[in-house]
Amino acid sequence: MILSKSSHLPNPAPLDVPASPPARRQRRKLPRNASLLVGIVLTTIFLAVALVSFFYLPSNPNIPVIRNRLLPAGTAGHWLGTDVLGRDIVAQLMVGARTSILVGAGGATLSLILGLIAGLAAASSGKIADEAISRGADILLSIPGMVTALVLAATMGSGALTTILALTAFFTPSFTRVVRSAAIGVLNEDFITAARLYGRGKIFVLIRHVLPNIAGVMIVQFTLYFAAGILTEAGLSYLGVGVHRPSISWGLMLNEAQQQVGISSPLAIWPGLAIVLMVLGLNLLGDGLRDVLDPKLARRAS
Amino acid sequence: MREKMHLITQRLGLLTAAAALFAGALGGAATLAEAASPRAAENKMVLVARQDPGTLDFVKSNLTAMRLWIPANVVEPLVYFNKDGSVSPGVAESWTISDDKKTYTFKIREAKFSNGAPVTAEDVIYSLNTMKASPVVDYAAAYEAVTAIDKVDDRTVKVTLSRPSQNFWQGMGAISGLIQPEASAGTIATNPIGTGPYKLASYTTNSTFEFEANPTYWGEAPPVKNVTVRIITDGTAGLNALEAGEVDALPVITIDLWEQLSKRELDKKYSLVTYPQVGEPTYAVLNQKLDKDLRETIAKTLDRQSYNDAFGAAWGAENTCTFALPNQVWYSPESPETCPFPYDMEGAMAAIAEKGYASTPLEYASLSDVPDLSLPADIMVPAMQAAGFNVTRNAIDLARYSQLIFQGRPPQFDVTIMSGDANPVQFACPDPSKAGWSTYCSPEYTKALADADVALTQEDYVAKMKQAADILRKDAVIVPLIAKKGVGLFNPDLKGFEEPRVNVAIELNKLHW
Amino acid sequence: MAIYVLRKLAFFLGALFIASVAIFLLIRGAGGNVAAVVLGKGATPEAINALAHTYGLDRPMAVQYFDWIGNMLSGDLGRSFRTNESVADLVTARLSVSIPLAFSGLVLGLLIAIPVGTYAARNVGTPSGALFALVSQIGVAVPVFWAGILLSLLFGVRLGWLPTGGWTDWSVSPWGAIRSLVLPVLSLGLIMAAVLIRYVRSAVLDVMNQDYLRTARAVGMTRTEALLKVGLRNAALPLVTIVGLQIAELIGGTVIIETVFSLPGLSRMMLANVAAREVIVVQSTVMLIVVFVISINLIVDLLYGLLDPRVRATR
């Protein structure tokens, strides 16, 4: 994703839509939950790596050992080699996983909370409030995400917190839209009307009835934004407005690797590969979840 | 039958002749390709600049990106100080200095600016006064002792000083002495006018400078009539352009590219020049308010060789504890005599344990968008932490760094690392309340510099400067690490490069095919 | 219909106003001062204040805001403090890089995505369809700058066919400019293709189930013909929306590709100016982009309303 907010566009069909339309010839089909399985596996691997990094690292990822600089992959003790200051690549990748998860999840969570509040408010309040919130979301979406991130970094100093805030600024408007349309769908159901007639307050209805019914959509969106957040954080760190040493991020590793492009190419490969695998895992997880939880809900949200 | 043979022979002959011609042309073309760049034949050259200066206003800007090209080429100083110590005429064709060194009389040469306007005494007075009022401290400092700048007659200007000043005299051969026409001062930021061998034909930000030979130049016309300076910010792209033959020279190659350069063996295919003027010392700055023993202990955690090794090209930088560049007389490389606090990690750890320095939180301000400085920071901070110091790293961008560190009074940092001008005067503080960005204030240091300035002979001057350098070394506030040389690559046929005389300006008119 | 348009326009203007205030406040909130950046290390606080005064940066915020807005409305986008260049000139120069880049990237993406997405849709549920879908998933997960670095490593460093970076201006050498754009456009295009494949596939899948397709078959078209002639036309509408939105994002969002390949584009200019705290340049440039994006949104909304009466009714 080109630092894009494509996630705010209507969600495309999940990747393994099962049953073919009746008029078509029969063809071999893939297992329904292939993407879900792969997604779970990949995501778990990365979560595990990040967790392990708190207890064990092959060597210190921040202390330079100049005599070990630029060792190739396969060297004893440094399976993927070392960087320009002799720091172990595997250790840096592991610590980088922490940052990606922290920032990606942080941004997605904060957007989820804010998006829920705004979206539910828009769906259940009067027309004016709805217009105001929706238009507000549209305005926020029109300011290029990059600019918001840059200016935030300039204002508050770059770092993990600023990146999380920038991600929140990107995703909350789209989350709001998704929540709003899902909630509107649920609010039109008969059982809601019944509950209101029965005398239940608006907030009660929202929490007790709407929330559980849109939970599936929320979870799916969360994983997709988590993935987008990781990509975005990597991009920002690559540009130099994300996290800084001693924090490590895969994007920062790529930034440092670019200096060495003419000298040691593998440095540029590993962090990028890590990003691809983690984001892929999360995207597959999201798609698989969407498929499993309720294909109809997915349609409603688009 | 014979006719047929004749025909065939004729045809064969023609074919052979054609083949021979073709081969000859190819061979000739091949030789040509191996020889000079295509621009040699057209008498042009293309050089690479790494940074865009933003503004060409040499009164207000002290960016290297501007100082590399505009002085000496477009705008000239009053005099030129040569490498051997002699002084050559510039805009001033002759001068007299009074015995007490307090009066300088300059005879202005009969010349024209590149826009055709004649150089007048008024222009000179305007230029000197403008520099005197320059917001750039380095430029204005030359005029500290100046009390009057007067017109004696249409071709003579007299400058009176309250005391002798070496800085003033040196300044007249540097940026402080650049002469511009008063009438064109308004457009100085995009189109500076001067008496130099070139005039600026065009300047497109982030893209190119175009220089062409100045038709009204008073001296010898430059051999290369058209010069293009391409701004290529990515170092690797610049090296690629050189290898591809798209450009003819990279006069300034920063330390982050040296390793690549030698790995690609560019120093074998092209002429490598090293010259000190564009070099810079990299030095740590410690807050003077910190306890002196603490500062000395920090200094002991600095392993200078590791900073050198980190860049993978030890041929381009020298370890040093003296704040100077190799071309300055008071410079000396790292040695037991000149390094009062050599690298001693065990000693540092012992001192920290003994004096309880671990309980003093130290803030390290690191400039995040300059790779030259963030890499040393990556080495320095872990080293200090390994010794036992409690250091937090505060990575900030240039604008915020300017505000906090350059302008912060009192200093908003405990430790930082900087790279830049080797001008010792930047650390003088005649008025403690107006101490410069490092806010280092030492009356002895300031006095030594003042004495040097007032020196009447070169020997006196050098002795005093050496004394000042020594004071700086022993204070452990400004702690030099490495002195980086200036490194350039030139097409082997582009000859004539000479070390810059006016600050760091690359003298384009000395280059020729 | 007229009310629909008027409401949209009113929103448009309101959005612009709010966005301008937001941008103004945001950039002004950043610490640091362009005068300090210009004067650098040795500057005294007095010199900085004096310079800031000549730039007009010490006036009250409200005054500076209305001054800026007033100028923008009369067509003056302001000037850079350091070089005195007009923002209009700065932006135009950069657009000659950013627009070809964005446009070509998008076109390349579409050229790849439409056939591939259609194929994936036709073969949904089969291994080959799934393979394409997987490839597209992987593509979406690839950070665009990584793609750029890898391509530049392969074609620039290892093979030496194309420049690893840098920009030759159109005026200097059109062929050189094209060469400078090949790798960036390729990186951008491949990623865009990955993103778009999913939407194409989804749109075509939707269409494949529609009645008018069966009608087309009934009339005698082959499956392929039906898909191409009738199906794609209907799939085009949502696709056009998405493409329109992507264009809007691309203009401001190509900063990463521009950084990888050292292209002097619009986004990088903004990055540099934010770093130097050139507030007027940033404000005006961002406003321009916002105007552009909101305009595209407006046009798309109007088109939708025009083409689909149901949309007008529910809004």
What are the b/e assignments for C244-279, b being 16+ CB within 10 Å?
ebbbbbbbbbbbbbbbbbbbbbbbbbbbbbbbbbbb
Q: Is the pLDDT of residue B27 over 60?
A: no
Q: C139-148 pLDDT, tens per residue?
A: 889 988 888 8
Length of chain C: 315
Least confident window among A52-56, A171-175, B489-493, C269-273 = C269-273
> Which pLDDT band holds residue A23 (cuts at 50, 70, 90)?
very low
8 Å CB contact of C249 and A268: no
Q: Is the pLDDT of residue B297 over 80?
A: yes
pLDDT the model gives residue A3: 36
Using alpha carbons only, what angle is made at residue B69 by residues B65 and B74, rounded to the nearest 5 degrees?
A: 140
CA distance C213 to C208: 7
Q: What is the 3-state secondary structure (H, E, C) of chain C?
A: CHHHHHHHHHHHHHHHHHHHHHHHHHHHCCCCCHHHHHHCCCCCHHHHHHHHHHHCCCCCHHHHHHHHHHHHHCCCCCECCCCCCEHHHHHHHHHHHHHHHHHHHHHHHHHHHHHHHHHHHHCCCCHHHHHHHHHHHHHHHCCHHHHHHHHHHHHHHHCCCCCCCCCCCCCCCHHHHHHHHHHHHHHHHHHHHHHHHHHHHHHHHHHHCCHHHHHHHHHCCCHHHHHHHHHHHHHHHHHHHHHHHHHHHHHHHCHHHHHHCCCCCHHHHHHHHHHCCCHHHHHHHHHHHHHHHHHHHHHHHHHHHHHCHHHHHHC
Q: How far is CA A98 from CA A41, A78, A101, B395, C167, in A?
A: 18, 20, 5, 20, 37
The residue that leads in pLDDT, B306 or C118, is B306
CA distance C222 to C226: 6
Sign, Cα dihedral of C52, C53, C59, C63: negative
CA distance C152 to C158: 9
Mean pLDDT to the nearest integer, C235-260: 73
Query: Which residues make Cβ contacts (< 8 Å) with residue B171, sequence separation at least 6?
Result: B139, B141, B142, B143, B177
DSSP state of B206: T
pLDDT the model gives residue A105: 93
The residue that leads in pLDDT, B308 or A138, is B308
* Residue with token string 């005294």: C44
What are the b/e assignments for A196-226, b being 16+ CB within 10 Å?
eeeeeeeeebbeebbbebbebbbbbbbbbbb
What six digits make up the tokens of A56? 């064990």
- Other Cβ atoms within 10 Å of B402 Cβ, number: 29
Backbone angles phi, psi at A198, to 5 degrees: -65, -20
Q: C3-40 pLDDT, tens per residue?
A: 877 877 887 788 788 888 888 888 887 777 888 877 77
Mean pLDDT to the nearest integer, B217-240: 87
Rounded to two decimals, the pTM is 0.80
Q: Is the pLDDT of residue B77 over 90?
A: yes
Amino acid letter, residue A212: P
Q: How far is CA A44 from CA A91, A278, A289, B176, B321, in A?
A: 18, 10, 15, 65, 52
The overall average pLDDT reported for chain B is 86
Residues in C touching A5 (Cβ below 8 Å): 249
Conformation bin of residue C53: beta by default, left when phi > 0, alpha when psi is -120 to 50: alpha
Question: Interface partners of A (3+ CB pairs, < 8 Å)?
Answer: B, C
This model of the complex carries an ipTM of: 0.80
8 Å CB contact of C264 and B206: yes
pLDDT the model gives residue A125: 81
CA distance A53 to A59: 11
- Name the residue in chain C with its Cα closest to that of B368: C275
Percent with pLDDT over 70 in chain A = 85
8 Å CB contact of B402 and C37: yes
Q: Is the pLDDT of residue A28 over 70?
A: no
CA distance C223 to C213: 9
Question: Is the separation of the CB atoms in B410 and B346 below 8 Å?
Answer: no
For B512, the 3-state DSSP assignment is strand
Amino acid letter, residue A205: V
**B33: nearest Cα among B45, B25, B22, B43:** B25
> Which pLDDT band holds residue A7 (cuts at 50, 70, 90)?
very low
Conformation bin of residue B245: beta by default, left when phi > 0, alpha when psi is -120 to 50: left
Residues in A touching C251 (Cβ below 8 Å): 144
Most confident of B47-61, B101-115, C15-29, C245-259: B101-115
Question: Is the separation of the CB atoms in A154 and C261 below 8 Å?
Answer: no
Residues in B touching A240 (Cβ below 8 Å): 368-369
Sign, Cα dihedral of B5, B10, B11, B13: positive
pLDDT the model gives residue A302: 40
> Which pLDDT band holds residue C309 (cuts at 50, 70, 90)?
low
pLDDT the model gives residue B20: 42
Residues in B touching A85 (Cβ below 8 Å): 310, 375, 378-379
What six digits make up the tokens of C27? 């950039």
pLDDT the model gives residue A12: 54
DSSP states along B324-364: S-TTSTT---S-TTT-SS---HHHHHHHHHHHTGGGSEEEE
* B239 and chain A in contact, CB less than 8 A: yes
Q: Is the pLDDT of residue B6 over 80?
A: no
The overall average pLDDT reported for chain C is 80
> Mutate which of A63, A82, A252, A256 to disrupt the B interface (most B C-beta within 10 Å)?
A63
CA distance A185 to A203: 17
**B263: nearest Cα among A265, A164, A225, A110:** A265
Amino acid letter, residue B393: R
How many Cβ pairs closer than 8 A exist between chain B and C? 125
Q: B253-285 pLDDT, tens per residue?
A: 988 888 888 888 888 999 999 898 888 899 999
Q: Is the pLDDT of residue C257 over 90?
A: no
The overall average pLDDT reported for chain A is 80
Residues in A touching C265 (Cβ below 8 Å): none
Query: Which residues make Cβ contacts (< 8 Å) with residue C32, sequence separation at least 6?
Result: A154, B397, B399, B400, B402, B403, C277
8 Å CB contact of B237 and C262: yes
pLDDT the model gives residue B34: 41
Task: Using CB atoms, pick whichever of B62, B234, B399 lies closest to residue C165.
Answer: B234
pLDDT the model gives residue A296: 54
The residue that leads in pLDDT, B399 or B155, is B155
Percent with pLDDT over 90 in chain B = 50
pLDDT the model gives residue A295: 57
* C146 and chain A in contact, CB less than 8 A: yes
- Name the residue in chain B with its Cα closest to that of C50: B135
Least confident window among A66-75, C98-107, C163-172, C220-229 = C220-229
Task: Using CB atoms, pick whichever of C44, C163, C167 lies closest to residue B434.
Answer: C44
Question: Is the separation of the CB atoms in C270 and C277 below 8 Å?
Answer: no
Say if strands B103-108 and B92-97 run parallel, antiparallel, or are unpaired.
antiparallel
Mean pLDDT to the nearest integer, C122-137: 80
Q: Is the pLDDT of residue C222 over 90?
A: no
pLDDT the model gives residue A31: 59
**B285: nearest Cα among B425, B413, B435:** B413
Task: Work out the angle between the directed axes of helices C87-122 and C127-141 (0-180°, nearest 10).
Answer: 160
- Name the residue in chain A with its Cα closest to that of B379: A64
The residue that leads in pLDDT, A246 or B13, is A246
Query: Which residues make Cβ contacts (< 8 Å) with residue B370, sequence separation at least 6?
Result: B398, B419
Torsion of CA C301, C306, C307, C313, to 10 degrees: 80
Q: Is the pLDDT of residue C252 over 70?
A: no
Q: Is the pLDDT of residue C264 over 90?
A: no
8 Å CB contact of A157 and B263: no
What are the b/e assignments for B304-332, b being 16+ CB within 10 Å?
bebbbbbbbbeebbbbbbbbbbbebebbb
Question: Is the separation of the CB atoms in B76 and B70 below 8 Å?
Answer: no
8 Å CB contact of C249 and A142: no
Task: Using CB atoms, pick whichever of C124, C270, C290 lies closest to residue A20.
Answer: C124
> Which pLDDT band holds residue A158 (cuts at 50, 70, 90)?
confident
Residues in A touching C238 (Cβ below 8 Å): 10
> Which pLDDT band holds residue B218 (cuts at 50, 70, 90)?
very high
Question: Is the separation of the CB atoms in C226 and C281 below 8 Å?
Answer: no
Mean pLDDT to the nearest integer, C128-147: 84
CA-based end-to-end distance of chain C: 12
> Which pLDDT band holds residue B2 (cuts at 50, 70, 90)?
low
Amino acid letter, residue B409: R
Q: Is the pLDDT of residue B510 over 60?
A: yes
Q: Is the pLDDT of residue B107 over 90?
A: yes
Q: C43-69 pLDDT, tens per residue?
A: 777 878 888 888 888 888 888 899 888
> Which pLDDT band holds residue C255 (cuts at 50, 70, 90)?
confident
Mean pLDDT to the nearest integer, C158-177: 76
Task: Using CB atoms, pick whichever of B263, B378, B393 lies closest to residue A262.
Answer: B263
CA distance C30 to C33: 9
